[in-house]
């Protein structure tokens, strides 16, 4: 498969590191006009630098995915009011939270994780849908987690719940937007050492826990951010034109 996105406008959220950075660079390398956003300005600058080093370019903007007005303004700028071909809702995570007993979780902590993992995906889909409908074409790819299909390795209740909610949103939007030629799919990564949070999580397991985690993977190795990006590229490509409402686990085999 020779997957290219020449002339296409692609939006990637959460692009300051990890999956979002790898996804942004992969689309840019294949000819897309990439608009990458995050709240982490320094991380975005590094993503932009890496794009230049590979001989491509990115448009980067600081955007809070929980702020609907910021999202609307960003999508308007990126699209020129005309087109967004691909939306990748990658922004998410645990926001520095750690696993704690249920009764210790504050209302603010619960809603914060839902805000970045679910609300952001919903707001961005709302913003691009009219543009995609007008062109009768579009791809939306949400990045969830194995935690949304099972349980969270960190024990963070809100994270597992939010990722499961995002998968539900994917399936619902697939049916709503399908008549307009828009596909909506989901990539559920397994554990990947991709950012400072996952590095801390990896170190917390210790040597024995790390060995146990890897041994629980069919392929007996951890994946990379590029593995996740490859799945996104497929869903966004012409080869996935008759695939929608699906969740693809990219986890080395469980």
Give the single-character DSSP code of 174: H
| Residue 230 CB partners (closer than 8 Å, separation 6+) | 26
CA distance 89 to 11: 8
CA distance 27 to 206: 35
> Taking the mean position of all CA atoms in its chain, how far away is CA 238?
20
- Of 4, 3, 26, nearest to 15 by C-alpha is 26
CA distance 1 to 225: 20
Task: Tokens for 180, please give them.
Answer: 């307009």
Q: Which of 123, 159, 205, 239 is catalytic?
A: 159
Question: Over the range 93-108, which residues count as b (16 or more CB within 10 Å of their CB) and which as e?
Answer: bbeebeeeeeeeeeee
In a 3-state reduction of DSSP, which class is residue 30? coil
Is residue 123 annotated as part of the catalytic site, yes or no? Answer: no
Backbone φ and ψ for 19, nearest 5 degrees, come out as: -60, -45
> Taking the mean position of all CA atoms in its chain, how far away is CA 49?
21
Among all residues, which ones are annotated catalytic?
A: 159
């Amino acid at each position: 498969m020779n997957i290219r996105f020449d002339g296409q406008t692609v939006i990637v959220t959460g692009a300051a590191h990890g999956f979002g950075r790898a996804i942004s660079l992969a689309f840019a390398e294949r000819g897309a006009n990439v608009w990458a956003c995050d709240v982490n300005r320094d991380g975005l600058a590094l993503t932009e630098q890496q794009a230049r080093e590979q001989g491509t370019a990115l448009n980067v903007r600081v955007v809070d995915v929980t702020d609907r007005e910021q999202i609307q303004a960003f999508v308007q700028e990126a699209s020129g009011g005309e087109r967004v071909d691909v939306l990748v809702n990658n922004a998410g995570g645990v926001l520095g939270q750690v696993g704690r007993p249920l009764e210790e979780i504050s209302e603010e902590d619960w809603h914060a994780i839902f805000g970045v993992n679910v609300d952001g995906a919903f707001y961005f889909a709302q913003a691009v849908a009219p543009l995609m409908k007008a062109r009768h074409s579009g791809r939306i790819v949400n990045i969830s987690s194995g935690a949304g299909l099972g349980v969270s390795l960190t024990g963070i209740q809100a994270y597992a719940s939010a990722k499961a909610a995002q998968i539900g949103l994917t399936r619902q939007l697939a049916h709503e937007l399908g008549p307009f030629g828009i596909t909506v799919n989901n990539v559920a990564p397994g554990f990947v050492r991709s950012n400072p949070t996952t590095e801390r999580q990896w170190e917390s397991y210790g040597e024995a826990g790390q060995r146990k985690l890897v041994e629980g993977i069919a392929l007996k190795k951890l994946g990379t951010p590029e593995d996740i990006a490859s799945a996104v590229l497929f869903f966004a490509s012409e080869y996935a034109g008759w695939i929608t409402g699906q969740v693809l686990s990219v986890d080395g085999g469980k």
